[in-house]
Amino acid sequence: MAAAPYPEGVSSPAFRSSWNTPFEGDLSGELELALRLADSADEIAMARFDAPDLDVRAKADASPVTEADLATERAIRDMLAEERPSDGVFGEEFGSSGDTGRQWIIDPIDGTANYLKGIPMWTTLIALAIEGVPRVGVASQPALGRRWWAASGLGSWTNTPSGAPRRLAVSRIPDIAASSVSFQSIAQWDEAGHTDALLRLSRAVWRDRGYGDTWPYMLLAEGRLECVAEFGVQEYDIAALVPIIREAGGTFTDFDGHESVSSRSSLATNGVLHESFLSLLHSPS
């Protein structure tokens, strides 16, 4: 592998156009490839899930990495090198390489702490950003038998027990007081200096919970939550989620309302309530 493992401060390129800019072209082939990448990743990650002899190491930032994280990202990179050799790749474990005009953004196992503890709430995230805008996204949770996918102009979808895909749509709830939200982690908000905002949020909504990493965003896309917000996220944690949320009719920005996955925060809503949540979160204490 040419890129060094465990990079510090790696980053994807800045967005060069609005996320609302229509995509001129057909992304069905890129989405099909992303789904095949997820198939390969699922097979590799599941082979070592809950293994008693799983190799676990600490990265430079003290976060854990397992042999499955490394093997899964390598497999995805190998497939991309064969099928899209001119595209760039930006992954959690091996950093950034190649062209940034078309860049695949990968988190081989989002939720490594869950993975190494045998908790099935972990996800492989695969995105394709074109000119910096996330256009294709796949979120796969093989331990739970769930997967979500989307591409600009092609809708947002999930699998069902029957095997038939189901198109996703966010809720149309128009009132914060009737909303259900996921705030992820009290510690995140505290470390970011937004504990007061979290308290305002929790007091204003119908229900608040911390559902975990990727899953609450997918609940939002399915119309089961109205808002998800968190801090300390990297590009590879959320890039794949952007098209899934947006194609389901939702809105995705950072905590300040900007179109960005590189500002280490996220705010995803059902769209109807986005400005209301921004106002609530940023209102004077």
Report pLDDT for 64: 93
When pLDDT is averaged across residues 211-230 and rounded to a whole number, the result is 96
Residue at 131 is within a domain: yes
pLDDT at 5 over 80: no
Q: Are residues 251 and 225 in the same domain?
A: yes
Question: How far is C-alpha 32 from the geometric centre of its chain's CA atoms?
Answer: 18
Listed residues 161, 194, 223: the one ending a domain: 161
Residue at 1 is within a domain: no
Residue at 11 is within a domain: no
Cα–Cα distance measured from residue 202 to residue 204, given in angstroms and rounded to the nearest whole number: 6
Going by DSSP bridges, is the β-strand pair 166-167/155-158 parallel, antiparallel, or unpaired?
antiparallel
Strands ordered across the beta sheet of 180-182: 207-209, 180-182, 227-231, 265-269, 251-253
Q: Which of 61-70, 222-231, 263-272 has the lowest mean pLDDT?
A: 61-70
Write the CATH number for 218.
3.40.190.80
Going by DSSP bridges, is the β-strand pair 88-91/102-110 parallel, antiparallel, or unpaired?
parallel
Instruction: Count Cβ atoms below 10 Å from residue 184 Cβ, excluding itself.
Output: 22
Token pair belonging to 8? 């510090």
Token pair belonging to 153? 């102009």
Which residues, 6 or more positions from 78, have their beta carbon under 8 angstroms from its beta carbon? none
Report pLDDT for 111: 95
The H or E element containing residue 167 is strand 166-167
Domain count, the chain: 2
Q: Are residues 58 and 140 in the same domain?
A: yes
Listed residues 113, 135, 161: the one ending a domain: 161
Q: Are residues 157 and 216 in the same domain?
A: no
Q: Are residues 182 and 123 in the same domain?
A: no
Residue at 263 is within a domain: yes
Residue at 2 is within a domain: no
Q: Are residues 241 and 148 in the same domain?
A: no
Q: Are residues 137 and 194 in the same domain?
A: no
pLDDT at 284 over 60: yes
When pLDDT is averaged across residues 221-233 and rounded to a whole number, the result is 97
Residue at 13 is within a domain: no
Q: Are residues 114 and 227 in the same domain?
A: no
Q: Are residues 234 and 117 in the same domain?
A: no
The H or E element containing residue 136 is strand 133-141
User: DSSP readout, 24-83?
Assistant: -S--HHHHHHHHHHHHHHHHHHHHHTT-TT--EEE-TTS-EEEHHHHHHHHHHHHHHHHH
Q: Are residues 61 and 146 in the same domain?
A: yes
Where residue 61 falls among pLDDT bands split at 50, 70, 90? confident
Write the CATH number for 117.
3.30.540.10
**Stronger pLDDT, 167 or 4, i.e. the higher one:** 167
Q: Are residues 203 and 135 in the same domain?
A: no
Q: Are residues 148 and 247 in the same domain?
A: no
Report pLDDT for 285: 64
pLDDT tens per residue, range 234-277: 999 999 999 999 999 999 999 999 999 999 999 999 999 999 99
pLDDT tens per residue, range 120-145: 999 999 999 999 999 999 999 999 99
Residue at 151 is within a domain: yes
* Tokens 């000119």, residue located: 131
The whole-model pTM stands at 0.93
Going by DSSP bridges, is the β-strand pair 180-182/227-231 parallel, antiparallel, or unpaired?
parallel
Listed residues 103, 129, 161: the one ending a domain: 161
Residue at 206 is within a domain: yes
Q: Are residues 45 and 90 in the same domain?
A: yes
Q: Which domain holds residue 277?
A: 176-281
